[in-house]
Amino acid sequence: MSEIRIPFILVADDDAEDRMLVKEAFEEANGPGHIRFVNDGEELLHYLQHTGKFSDQEKYPSPQLILLDLNMPRKDGKEALTEIKAAEHLRGIPVVVLTTCVAEQEVRAIYALGANSFIVKPTSYTGLVKIMKSLCAYWFRTVLLPDTNSCKLLLQE
């Protein structure tokens, strides 16, 4: 028997409508695995550190990819990104910033903090589906990601 990882994306975004659109776009893009959501940077870090309501690591496995909005309450995307990349056990998880900000200075700052990609949220649903297809193709079908103790599926050889 060999193990393969079931791809899993964790999205941090405080906007309920954006979360719904990302979920629908992921499904329409035939994204592999599944997608989960947290409401802000503080909840994202609780999830990643398996604290509070996220303490059960079987129920809340580590993601292979994080999609991160920048403008969130309590702890914004920059603060969360800084903490993720500072933590040795988290820094290997790719973080893709998906936000409405387009200022060049902001883009430079986000990459300096360790983001793996910066994507401007499209203005159309069709554009979001294209982005989800591209993200899934690149992060789950092209590159090899380190094991993050994610959900596993046992397959018979």
- Give me the CATH number covering residue 13: 3.40.50.2300
Residue 74 reports pLDDT greater than 50: yes
The pTM (predicted TM-score) of the whole model is 0.86
Mean pLDDT (the chain) is: 86
Q: Are the CB atoms for 29 and 37 separated by under 8 Å?
A: no
Residue linked to tokens 């499904």: 27
pLDDT band for position 150 (cuts 50, 70, 90): very low
Instruction: Give residue 150's domain range.
Output: 2-155
pLDDT, residue 145, reads: 72
How many domains does one find in the chain?
Answer: 1
| Positive/negative CA dihedral, 21, 101, 119, 63 | negative
Residues 6+ apart with CB under 8 A from 10: 35, 36, 37, 38, 44, 47, 48, 63, 65, 66, 67
Measured CA to CA in angstroms, residue 68 lies from 1, 14, 23, 146, 148 at distances of 35, 10, 14, 20, 18
Instruction: Note the pLDDT tens digit of each residue in 96-121.
Output: 999 887 788 889 999 999 999 999 99
Per-residue b/e over 84-121, b at no fewer than 16 CB within 10 Å?
bbeeeebeebbbbbbbebeeeeebebbeebebebbeeb
